[in-house]
Amino acid sequence: MKLEPLSSNGFATKITAWYALIGSLWIVLTDYLVALTLNTPEQLLQAQTLKGWGFVFVTSCGLYVLLRRGTRSLQKSYSLLETILESTTDAIFAKNLEGKYIVVNTAMAEIAGVPVQQMLGANDEELFGAEVANQLREHDRISLVSGIRQEREACLNPDYLHTNPVGDPNKAQIYLTSKDIWYDPYGTPIGVIGLSRNITEAKRAYEALAQSEERYRNLFACHPQPMWIYDQESLEFLAVNRAAIAHYGYSEAEFLSMTIEDIRPAEDVPSLLNNLQDKPSGYIASGVRRHLKKDGSVIAVDITTHDVEFEGRPAQVILANDITEQLHVQAQLERYAFTDTLTGLLNRTGFSRNLQQAITRHQHQNSPFTLLYLSLDGFTRLKFSLGHAVARQLLIEAATRLKACFPGAIAARLDDNEFALRLRHEVDSVDAVVGHLRERLSSMYHLNNHDVFSDCSIGVVRSNLDCSDAEDYLQAGDTAMYQARSALPHKYVIFSQQLRDTALNRIELDSALRRALERDEFEVYYQPFIDLSTYQCLGFEALVRWQHPQRGLVPPGEFIPLTEETGLVVPLGEWVLQRACQQLKAWQTQFQQPQLTMSVNVAALQLTQPGFLDVLDDVLRTTGIAPPCLKLEITETTLMQNTETIRCSLDHIKQRGINLSIDDFGTGYSSLSYLHLFSFTVLKLDRSFVIQLESSDKSIEIVRNIARLAQNLNLALVAEGIETQQQLALLQQLDFQEGQGYLFSHPLPPSAAKQWLQDKIQSDVLPD
């Protein structure tokens, strides 16, 4: 922009032209009029004078009008210029060739710290001091010499200025000053004009930005995890960090010539492209991907992505965390936590987890399954007869057969000898499936030079169970398997509501038994032992009964097994022991029969209780019966549980002089092989042998062998369940010294037993 009066050359031309035109017209017209109207020289002389005065008047008026217009225009321009100069925060100034300020705006005066009026006419030295003035003059000089605009940054610390500081005195202010030559209208340099802008804030912001950019660049470059930026359209790598180069094995140049598809295994590329298509913008995702290294190895990477703009292109920055090792360790830990180390099958935790997933799947997608819960029969017996090593081999072999039988199924070893199978479909013919399984599992095992048979019991649970917890399914399987043990001949039971009710009944029965003990509803019945050569009464066996308020007398077979499972047999057995010993003492005293004995049945759980020996001592002490008069009966199957603890407990009992009797002998597994390990004094042959005596010679032979073994081991021979004279005669022939059975007496309540004993003693005393 140029200011009007100064810019217009035409202004002077116009005035001159008008002046020339008016003057010429004036001369021509007035000369013509004078010539026309005046004739005398005096008139002409006067007219010439008037003409002159008229010319002066007319031109003065014209000049006045023109000068007034010019001045107004000049004032307008000046005011505009002043407004422009003052409206900017930039400092504007003009200096003459002597270095004196001719034009300054307020912003400039503020830099110098003086009023505008004081600054006009002053030079840099007066205003800023010699040091700053030298720099400013040098800038002026270069601007004048070069002839082109010169920009220079200068740092002015107001503290060092002569005048009052401007702004924060602690902060130096940075100015960008642009200077140009000031020419007069004829093109002659008459000074320097300049514009200074305070760029302190902008400069600091710029530096902060640069630093921050540098930090981010470093963060990217030096980040310990692989990072890269790729073009979202072409999928080309745009930048990679050092960790990516080191980890993936490609050089930076190689990376930059590749696309992200090149670091994915070929089979993963379609899914990558699909994901990229569906990806919403700004999406930050993290997930595990498979990546391909330069050496061809595939790694698992957890990636995080973020949309960015890189060099004007839509791009994405990726942070890749190699979790291959972590997954490997995790898998190892999982294997360890969820696998049975002996068989390699899933363990209970692993199977539960798998089963839970199957239950959820079934609930959402209706994918039924069948759960088989099975246990190997006679495992405990086998373990204690053939040893733990053989038992372990049996489990391994059974697991192998199980897997081979249903290769697609999920197999697990849940517990000692309990396995589970989850078939991935609903079984139509349970008979066929279970038959197939039993056939495979029960065919002979050759283990450590032993031929072993092991059948199994199977609980079947269908996926339509009305519950959603894996533990409930396993519980159902366990319940069904438990029932299957006695479900001959197929040895499987399908879980049903009825079975659940039975299980619940067991829980109710347990509570009722506990209440019964508190309410004193138990009674002890006594069954005598008879000397088979003299028929004298040698003693009694204490047999517990439950006098149920509604059901009447309940035999022990209906509740003892449950009390053994729940532990109630411990307080109950203690109560029976106490009661029986008191009774014995009473009869010994009453009938003067100090040699009378009392046999008390003891469960395995009692023997393994730490306080059992104290209980025995206490009972012997309080009742005052002699230890040899007490006999503890331990069933043969009891011996197969926790052998070492039981053997130790039996030794301590024996040391007290108490007799130990092995009950139900002949029902155990390979029982002969370990008899000598225990401190027994009596062998009580199981009733099943006595029953068979009459029907087969082979049975007699077996019993004869058992009797011989007992003699070899110095064991007294007792037969239980003698019901007939013929059985009695055979047992006498086989050298059995003692017997018990309905032939002599049923188990009797205390009063009846007392009467029986009294009658017996009298009949023994009376001659026949």
Note the residues at the interface with Mg ion (CB under 5 A).
601, 633, 663-664, 720
CB of 561 to ligand C2E, least distance (A): 9
CB of 661 to Mg ion, least distance (A): 8
> Would you say the C-alpha torsion 105, 111, 114, 120 has a positive or negative sign?
negative
411: enclosing H helix or E strand: strand 410-415
Tell me how far the alpha carbon of residue 683 is from its chain's centroid.
Answer: 59
Binding partner selected for residue 747 from Mg ion, ligand C2E, none, CB under the kind-specific 5 to 8 Å limit:
ligand C2E
Select 275 or 667, whichever has its Cβ closest to ligand C2E: 667
Select 18 or 678, whichever has its Cβ closest to ligand C2E: 678
CB of 563 to ligand C2E, least distance (A): 8
Euclidean distance between CA atoms 764 and 768, whole angstroms: 9
Using CB atoms within 10 A of its CB, is residue 447 exposed (0-12), middle (13-18) or buried (19+)? Answer: buried
Select 413 or 545, whichever has its Cβ closest to ligand C2E: 545
CB of 372 to Mg ion, least distance (A): 35
CB of 470 to Mg ion, least distance (A): 41
CB of 606 to ligand C2E, least distance (A): 7
Binding partner selected for residue 721 from Mg ion, ligand C2E, none, CB under the kind-specific 5 to 8 Å limit:
ligand C2E
> Token pair 């008390």 is at which residue?
600
Binding partner selected for residue 640 from ligand C2E, Mg ion, none, CB under the kind-specific 5 to 8 Å limit:
none
Binding partner selected for residue 47 from Mg ion, ligand C2E, none, CB under the kind-specific 5 to 8 Å limit:
none
Binding partner selected for residue 543 from Mg ion, ligand C2E, none, CB under the kind-specific 5 to 8 Å limit:
ligand C2E
Select 377 or 633, whichever has its Cβ closest to Mg ion: 633
Tokens found for residue 197: 């802008």
> CB neighbours of 742 closer than 8 A, spacing ≥ 6?
721, 722, 723
CB of 506 to ligand C2E, least distance (A): 18
User: Cβ(627)–Cβ(681) under 8 Å?
Assistant: no
Report which of 260, 255, 263, 251 is spatially closest to residue 239, judged by C-alpha positions. 255
CB of 550 to Mg ion, least distance (A): 28
CA dihedral 625, 629, 632, 633 (to 10 degrees): -140
Select 373 or 529, whichever has its Cβ closest to ligand C2E: 529
CB of 625 to ligand C2E, least distance (A): 17
CB of 761 to ligand C2E, least distance (A): 21
> DSSP string spanning 334-394?
HHHHHB-TTTSSB-HHHHHHHHHHHHHHHHHH----EEEEEEETTHHHHHHHH-HHHHHHH
Select 109 or 634, whichever has its Cβ closest to ligand C2E: 634
CB of 521 to Mg ion, least distance (A): 22
Binding partner selected for residue 573 from ligand C2E, Mg ion, none, CB under the kind-specific 5 to 8 Å limit:
ligand C2E
CB of 635 to Mg ion, least distance (A): 7
Select 305 or 724, whichever has its Cβ closest to ligand C2E: 724
539: enclosing H helix or E strand: strand 537-548
Binding partner selected for residue 723 from Mg ion, ligand C2E, none, CB under the kind-specific 5 to 8 Å limit:
ligand C2E
User: Cβ(225)–Cβ(320) under 8 Å?
Assistant: yes
Select 90 or 720, whichever has its Cβ closest to ligand C2E: 720
CB of 324 to ligand C2E, least distance (A): 59
SS3 284: coil
Binding partner selected for residue 555 from Mg ion, ligand C2E, none, CB under the kind-specific 5 to 8 Å limit:
ligand C2E
Tokens found for residue 201: 């804030």
Euclidean distance between CA atoms 692 and 683, whole angstroms: 18
Binding partner selected for residue 557 from Mg ion, ligand C2E, none, CB under the kind-specific 5 to 8 Å limit:
ligand C2E
Select 434 or 634, whichever has its Cβ closest to ligand C2E: 634
Select 111 or 629, whichever has its Cβ closest to ligand C2E: 629
Tell me how far the alpha carbon of residue 661 is from its chain's centroid.
Answer: 56
Report DSSP state, residue 267. G
Residue closest to Mg ion, measured at CB: 633
Euclidean distance between CA atoms 342 and 340, whole angstroms: 6
CB of 521 to ligand C2E, least distance (A): 14
Binding partner selected for residue 252 from Mg ion, ligand C2E, none, CB under the kind-specific 5 to 8 Å limit:
none
Q: Which residues bind ligand C2E (CB under 6 A)?
A: 527, 543-544, 555-557, 560, 569, 573, 576, 601-603, 633, 635, 663-664, 720-723, 740-742, 747
- How far is CA 162 from each of CA 114, 124, 154, 195, 523, rounded to the nearest angstrom? 10, 11, 17, 22, 120
Select 90 or 663, whichever has its Cβ closest to Mg ion: 663
Binding partner selected for residue 99 from ligand C2E, Mg ion, none, CB under the kind-specific 5 to 8 Å limit:
none
Select 457 or 601, whichever has its Cβ closest to Mg ion: 601
CB of 603 to Mg ion, least distance (A): 11
Binding partner selected for residue 556 from ligand C2E, Mg ion, none, CB under the kind-specific 5 to 8 Å limit:
ligand C2E
Binding partner selected for residue 745 from ligand C2E, Mg ion, none, CB under the kind-specific 5 to 8 Å limit:
none
Select 555 or 624, whichever has its Cβ closest to ligand C2E: 555
CB of 573 to ligand C2E, least distance (A): 5
> DSSP string spanning 66-134?
HHHHHHHHHHHHHHHHHHHHHH-SSEEEEEETTSBEEEE-HHHHHHHTS-HHHHTT-BHHHHH-HHHHH
Binding partner selected for residue 503 from Mg ion, ligand C2E, none, CB under the kind-specific 5 to 8 Å limit:
none
Euclidean distance between CA atoms 351 and 348, whole angstroms: 5
Euclidean distance between CA atoms 532 and 729, whole angstroms: 9
User: CB count, 10 Å around CB of 309?
Assistant: 9
User: Cβ(91)–Cβ(107) under 8 Å?
Assistant: yes
Select 418 or 720, whichever has its Cβ closest to ligand C2E: 720
Euclidean distance between CA atoms 180 and 191, whole angstroms: 9
Select 322 or 664, whichever has its Cβ closest to Mg ion: 664
Tokens found for residue 701: 């032979």
Select 544 or 646, whichever has its Cβ closest to ligand C2E: 544
User: CB count, 10 Å around CB of 633?
Assistant: 21
Binding partner selected for residue 576 from Mg ion, ligand C2E, none, CB under the kind-specific 5 to 8 Å limit:
ligand C2E
What's the one-letter identity of residue 414? Answer: L
Binding partner selected for residue 671 from Mg ion, ligand C2E, none, CB under the kind-specific 5 to 8 Å limit:
none
Max distance between CA atoms of the chain, in angstroms, equals 218
223-237 burial, b at 16+ Cβ within 10 Å, e below that, comes to eeebbbbbbbeebbb
